[in-house]
Structure formats: C-alpha cells, structure tokens
Structure 1
C-alpha cells in the first residue's frame, strides 16, 4: 500500500481518480499541465496518477460536487430515517390501532416481518452478486442515489461519481456491506419504534388476539406457533400451548401469552438480526476499508504509468569502463549505532505491493519506499545520518539489473549504518539472484548479505520468536 492510501482523504481521492478514468472512457482530457504538476509534486507513481486526477477533477468540477454530496449525505440519511420511522409507526398503528381492538396475530406478524424478510433475502443474495439488482433495491442504494441527485442536480457529475464509488466498493468487496450498514441501521431503528409503539398500546389498552382461517387445518396453526416460538422462548418469551391456540376466546392469561409471543417474534426475527448485521457490516467495513483503491493493474493506469516514466530523466545503466574494483566501505562503529532497523523498497516496479506481505507486522509498519530519484535518495540518507541504525534492509526487484547508481547508493547507505542487507524480492529464478551476487563480488561489496529469501536477508533480531 502506498503512502497516499494512508491519508485521511484516501477514499475521496480514490473516487476522483476512478471518476476521471470513467470520464476519459469517452475521450482523453487535455492533461499536459496536470501531468507536469503531478510529476513535480510527488515521486510516487501511484501518487502521480492521483495528483493528475485531482488536477483534472478540479477543472471539470468533480471535487466541489463530491464535497456537496458529503455535506448533504447526513441530511438525506436523516430524512430517509424519518420517512422509515413514520412508516413504522403507521404499520404499528395498523396492527394495534383498529377501532375493534382485535388483532389477528398471524396477519400482524406477516405485515410486520414480510417486507423485512424479503429485503433481507435480497441483501444476502447481494453478497454473492454484488453488482446485480439486489443491492440497488436496498435502502443504502436509495440513500446514495438521492444524495448524488440532491448534490449534483440534473446536470451534475453525479452518475460518474456514483459509478466510481460503487466500483471501488465492489472491488474491495464492500458494496453489500456498505449499503447494508445503512439499510440494517434504518431497519433496526424502525423495528425499535414499532416495538415501542406496540408495547405502549398493549400495556395501556385492551386487545383481543386470535387467529382466523377458512380453509386451513387448526393443527397447522398450532405447529406454526410452536415453531416460530422456539427461538423467542430461548430468550424467555412465552409460547401459547395447543389449548390456548385452539381456544375460541382465550382468557386474560392467554391474551397476555399471545401478546408476548407476537412481541418475541418481532424481536427475534426482526430487530435482533438487523442489529447483528449492523455490527457485522461495521466490522467488515473496518477490516476492508484500506482496500478502497483503484486497480492499478488496469490498462488505463498502466498507460499513465508509462507516460509518467517517460517524463523522468533517463537512468544510466551501462558499466563504467576502466573503473577499478572499489573497496568494501566500513560501517559505523558500534558505539555510534542505535538499535533500529530501516526497511527500504528501492526502485521497485510500480505494481509491486508495498509493504510486502512477508514482512513481520512490526517491521512492515516502519517500511518505506523510494523511487531512486535524487531527492528521494537524499531524503533517505538524511534520515540514516540522523538515526545511525544498526541495520538497513534494502528490498530490490530481483529481476532488475543493478547498475552504477545502485552501487553508489549502497556505498552511501553503508556510510551511515552498521550493516546493509539486500532482499531480492520476486526472484524469477536462481539465475537472477546469482546475477546480483556476482555483481556484488565484482564491485567489492561481496560482504553484503543478499538473498531472495526474507528469512536469510532479515536480521535475526527482527524475526519474531
């Protein structure tokens, strides 16, 4: 992961970057100035693409519209919650607000849980088909669409911003969870309001609860009540027995049992699943939100990387004819060293993940990456001169060829630390590793520990027991 993704604005920046990609599907934008600005402001390849997108986004109005959407989002959500709560109160009123004060418990249960069960099944289906119509039927999708429409109006950039947002969420496998966090939260609040209204009415008014049928066998209702009441019974809610179910007019105790059974079913099959899914959605969002980045492997981004690479000055990779074999620089004395480990990715390919997954967690948090440019090298050498670490582990791409610039950089690093080690990552074969080892020997740096295995290249003190 690059440093850009660690900033607080990482997701909005990613949305703008993806929105520019979708915008340029209909034709490239004039980006000559944006390219120059991006190349001058950062040396990180992915950061350059993001900076270019931000420059273009400002020009066509993406950032202002995204800012308006973020301002309107809480208000649109509040209005949607108010609408759902009012609908919940109306549904509760239709159940307990009748003039005859007679409640058909089966009809009431289907009325209160039917739409909830249907939308829940659609959301579960959306976990396996996140780009299908299942998610577009959720309250989360309605909230996102309304927010984009309110913020952008009829002629705004809402469609491309919505497409970019949903694309990022889908790539991170967060689309159903993000929409679910909104939908389940609204449903949970709605059920809480319905239960509060029902309990208030049942506590202070007298109702007659029963069931009715014309064609079904009464034993069917006995079985249904027992099956549905099993889970609420585990939480202490009573379940009407067969005699109570079959009684034409149950007494006061029977009416109380019916009322608590109905309440228990709404709690267990309505409120609790939604609350549990809110917590689960929040947990999944927290775990996966760092993956909300563009797919840098897309051909569109690869072309941009090539364009930025063409702007960089050419690197000298030829051998220095007539150069004598240099002596191995001596590291700093132990008295000047500090117990520190620097892990540095050096001239790695843009599509190589960083930090590498193989690094121990405590080491990966301190890892940094430089592109080999003069400013990046100087900034790192300044850090080393200030810290004097005991060990510097350089992560190099094994398939790349070392050159004079690599040798010069290694010697400069050795002047500011106790020892320097090389991890030759992503080695395509033993020949690539051997090429580096031969090069170290030929340049007088053979005492540097180099390996394509992290366990050998990493100091023993950095390996967790």
Structure 2
C-alpha cells in the first residue's frame, strides 16, 4: 500500500509539473487578449474565488475558465497533437536537404572534389545559424531566434493547429514571452534547432562515408589568386581539432602535391570527414545536451510575472470579493480567560438588548422582543468610545441577568469587539449574541460559523451565538 501511495504521489507531481507551462501559457494569453478589452468575468471571478485561497492560483483558475470559453485550451491541445508531426515533416525535409548536399559534393560525374569548396558548402549555413543563435543568447527576446529551425517549427505548428482565424498568434506570443522571461527562449528553440542540425549532419556523414568507401574520388584544392602556402596553413589549422580525436592531417607535401597517391587521397578524405564531425556534428550534439540541461534547470521559472499591474489589479478584485476575515486578534492574552460575571445574588431581573455597530439599514428595534423588555432596555450604539462608556455605566447600574448583544453577521469580529464583549460580561449574569443580517445582506452561510469559531478561539465559548432571533430570545422573557 505504501508503494502504491508513493507511486501515485509521484505520478500526481509529474502531472502537475507537466501542466504548469500550459496553464501559464493560457494565463498569459488571456492577459494579451484583454489588452483589446476586458472579458466578461463576473461569474468566472466568483468561481475562481471559491476554488482556492492563493491569489496566483485564483488568477490562473480565472484564466483557465475564460480560456475554455474562447477556445484557447482546445487550440493549445491541437497544437500539442500536431507538434510531433510537424517536427517529423521538418526533419524529413532537412534530411532530404542533407542528402542533396552530400550528393552535390560526391555526385559529380568526374568524381573530383574540391575539399575547400566542399567544406564551405557543408559547414557554411551551419556556422552562420550557429553564430546567430549564440548572438541571441545575449540580445533581448532572442533577436535572431526567428531564423532558427526551432522558431520555424513553432510557427508551422501554430499555423497548422489554428488555421488562419485561430488563436495561434496570441498563444505563440504568450509562450515566447514566458520563455523569454525565464531566459529560456533561445534554449528552448535551440533544443529543437540543434537536434535537427545534428540529425542532418549524421545523414550527411553517412552518405559521404558511404560514397568515399565504395567509390574512387580525387580530392584536391584549386586557386587562382591565393598563395599555396595559405592552403597549407589553413589545412593545418583546421585539422588540429580533428587530429585530437584521431583524424589525420595532410602534411605540406600532400597539400602541395598536384596528384597525391592513394595514401594522400585517404588522408584528404579523412581530414574532410573529421572537419565535418568536429565543426558540425559535435557542436550541435553538445548544444542539444546543454539546451536540455538549461531547460531542466530553469523550467520552474515558467510562470507569469505576478508583480505586473495587470495581475495586481486582478488580485485587488479578488480581495474585494473575498469574505471578510477575522482581523486584529489580541495576541497578548491567552484564550480561556473570560470574565466570570456577576453572581446570582448581585443580579436584578432585567434583560437588555444592545445593537453594536449595526449597519444603517438594519431594522431597529428588532421585531418580536418580549413585552417584559422595555424600550429603555433596548439600546443601539455606534461603537464609539463615549457611547460604549455610557452603555457600560448603564449596565453597571442595572446589573441585568441577561444581555442580548446584536451584531451584524457579515461584519468581522476584531479586538475591539472582543474587549467590548468582555466588558459586557463583567456587568451581567449571561450574554447571548444574535448575528443579525442587514437588509439586502449577501453574506454567506458561513458568516455565523465564523463568529462561533472566533468565540471559541478567544476563550468566549460561554457566549451563545445564533443567527436566529427566536433562539437567542428563548427563555429571556421570564426570569429563571
């Protein structure tokens, strides 16, 4: 059972990690969508508010609900389904291009290969795109990322999944902004691009080695204006790195010879192959591994910037809708120290009904009070210090056997409410709390329970609280 639980937890955590980036993309996409105008989210806000108490999670939940309404999730799902097929098609095109390039090098009818021209044709575009990718690492938003195969793959996937009228542009914009903020844009696109280039070089090398192994070619160099010593030096410099992993380098005599023998031709062929491996295949393979490592390390940062004004405004809207919470609790007194109140011999047969800090639209006095409670015993105060002091002086003089304190159920009990309640308890025999709803009150059903929990937490559990006036008045009309 423990193993099953651990396995289930692992699968759940994996699923959560996999859903973080898509949820972040939807959240950012809603943000860009609302740049053109806010969406109607009255019901969505309340639904998101009920799901969680965490502000970023509420914003994400709101975005997901709005995304379902305008079709973002369905389009993102289509993009994820099409992405492997688009990548496969792109790989097929690159492989065919690689085969064509290799064929141009070794497919001549005279079977003569100019090694310098062959090397430039096989590595030229690779070197240019690699330099652009490296430049994109230090420039904002990966300025040259649109020239990479990764960007082409992303754009084609969005176009195929969304069509001409889909939501693909806003999803692509959201995804690239998230990647750029996490400093992952060139690495994510590079992971795809370097992978495709690696496969292309592998195909080129396989075709080149096959042709060189089973056909006879003449490899040489040609020039009209360059000094032969230049080629000797260039071959030595370019061959140094391949020589470190075992590839031979033609010596000066072989380079300068107009018709080197079979051994010289073999050295030229291996030198050309070694240059393609070292300057083409190996850098791309190394960058694939590096891009994957950087992605794994930084993927936790793929989330919206919650400090931006758009998200701060949403947080404020959620805060305005949230039910009031108990605030300003008194940290200096341990719970359980409620006043004992007056002894039965000190009490008089009187019952007071006190409205405390009630909204202006609350009907007063309450209907249905017992006839034994005279108007002089029904008072309402605004909570100011003079009003409280005058009422407490009146209670100290009257010493009633019971006090019914009337409070607004949707209000938040705080330290001032607690102090006043304790002072009332000190001047009577029993205190009850009626949690009255105001006119047009929209407070939730959990409001009375919030007060009851607060009474328990502040050590005032002896104060009976109820939202029903009938329950609060039970037994107060006549003396016990």
TM-score, normalised to structure 1's length? 0.68
Structure 1 residues 196 and 324, CA gap change in structure 2 (3 angstroms): closer
Instruction: Find the partner of 2:253 among 243, 256, 268.
Output: 243
Q: Which residue of 2 aligns with 1:55?
A: 65
| CA distances 1:312-371 after superposition (whole Å, capped 9, x unpaired) | 1123334669x965479xxxxxxxxxxxxxxxxxxxxxxxxxxxxxxxxxxxxxxxxxxx
Instruction: Find the partner of 2:240 among 230, 233, 248.
Output: 230
| CA distances 1:268-305 after superposition (whole Å, capped 9, x unpaired) | 00000000000000000000111100000110000000
Range with bigger deviation, 6-15 or 61-70:
6-15
| Structure 2 counterparts to residues 426-437 of structure 1, below 5 A | none
Whole-angstrom distance in 1 between the partners of 2:185 and 2:292? 12
Q: Which residue of 2 aligns with 1:269?
A: 279
Q: Secondary structure at the match of 2:223?
A: coil
Whole-angstrom distance in 1 between the partners of 2:173 and 2:85? 22
Q: Secondary structure at the match of 1:115?
A: helix
Task: Report the Cα offset of residue 133 of structure 1.
Answer: 3.4
Whole-angstrom distance in 2 between the partners of 1:192 and 1:320? 72
Structure 1 residues 155 and 215, CA gap change in structure 2 (3 angstroms): same
Q: Secondary structure at the match of 1:313?
A: coil
Q: How many residues align?
A: 331
| Structure 2 counterparts to residues 44-83 of structure 1, below 5 A | 44-83=54-93
Is this contact kept in 2: 1:5–1:290, CA < 8 A?
no
Structure 1 residues 201 and 316, CA gap change in structure 2 (3 angstroms): same
Whole-angstrom distance in 1 between the partners of 2:200 and 2:311? 44
The structure with the largest alpha-carbon Rg is: 2
Structure 1 residues 211 and 40, CA gap change in structure 2 (3 angstroms): same
Structure 1 residues 404 and 194, CA gap change in structure 2 (3 angstroms): farther
Is this contact kept in 2: 1:69–1:151, CA < 8 A?
yes
Instruction: Find the partner of 1:186 among 182, 186, 196.
Output: 196
Whole-angstrom distance in 2 between the partners of 1:155 and 1:205? 53
Range with bigger deviation, 131-140 or 92-101:
131-140
Whole-angstrom distance in 2 between the partners of 1:404 and 1:209? 93
Task: Report the Cα offset of residue 53 of structure 1.
Answer: 0.3
Structure 1 residues 11 and 199, CA gap change in structure 2 (3 angstroms): same
| Structure 2 counterparts to residues 4-153 of structure 1, below 5 A | 6-153=16-163
Whole-angstrom distance in 2 between the partners of 1:71 and 1:317? 50
Q: What are the ranges of 5 or more consecutive residues in structure 2 without an aligned counterpart?
A: 1-12, 338-413, 419-457, 460-480
Residue 290 of structure 2 corresponds to residue 280 of structure 1: yes
Whole-angstrom distance in 2 between the partners of 1:275 and 1:318? 61
Q: Secondary structure at the match of 2:219?
A: strand
Whole-angstrom distance in 1 between the partners of 2:188 and 2:282? 19
Q: Which runs of 4+ in 1 moved over 6 A?
A: none
Whole-angstrom distance in 2 between the partners of 1:300 and 1:79? 39
Structure 1 residues 227 and 319, CA gap change in structure 2 (3 angstroms): closer
Whole-angstrom distance in 2 between the partners of 1:319 and 1:258? 85
Instruction: Find the partner of 1:312 among 307, 322, 331.
Output: 322
Instruction: Find the partner of 1:217 among 203, 208, 227.
Output: 227
Q: Secondary structure at the match of 2:303?
A: coil
Is this contact kept in 1: 2:142–2:185, CA < 8 A?
no
Residue 301 of structure 2 corresponds to residue 256 of structure 1: no
| CA distances 1:415-460 after superposition (whole Å, capped 9, x unpaired) | xxxxxxxxxxxxxxxxxxxxxxxxxxxx99xxxxxxxxxxxxxxxx
| Structure 2 counterparts to residues 148-167 of structure 1, below 5 A | 148-167=158-177
Whole-angstrom distance in 1 between the partners of 2:84 and 2:296? 20
What's the C-alpha RMSD, in Å, of the aligned pairs?
2.3
Whole-angstrom distance in 2 between the partners of 1:173 and 1:260? 40
Q: Secondary structure at the match of 2:90?
A: helix
Whole-angstrom distance in 2 between the partners of 1:324 and 1:4? 46
Structure 1 residues 7 and 61, CA gap change in structure 2 (3 angstroms): same
| CA distances 1:182-238 after superposition (whole Å, capped 9, x unpaired) | 000000000000000000000000000000000000000000000000000001100
Q: Secondary structure at the match of 1:209?
A: strand
Is this contact kept in 2: 1:20–1:57, CA < 8 A?
yes
Whole-angstrom distance in 1 between the partners of 2:242 and 2:333? 85
Task: Report the Cα offset of residue 131 of structure 1.
Answer: 1.7
Q: Which residue of 2 aligns with 1:195?
A: 205
Whole-angstrom distance in 2 between the partners of 1:66 and 1:171? 20
Q: Which residue of 1 aligns with 2:407?
A: none
Is this contact kept in 1: 2:142–2:186, CA < 8 A?
no
Q: Secondary structure at the match of 1:297?
A: coil
Task: Report the Cα offset of residue 130 of structure 1.
Answer: 4.3
Whole-angstrom distance in 1 between the partners of 2:165 and 2:215? 54
Structure 1 residues 17 and 90, CA gap change in structure 2 (3 angstroms): same
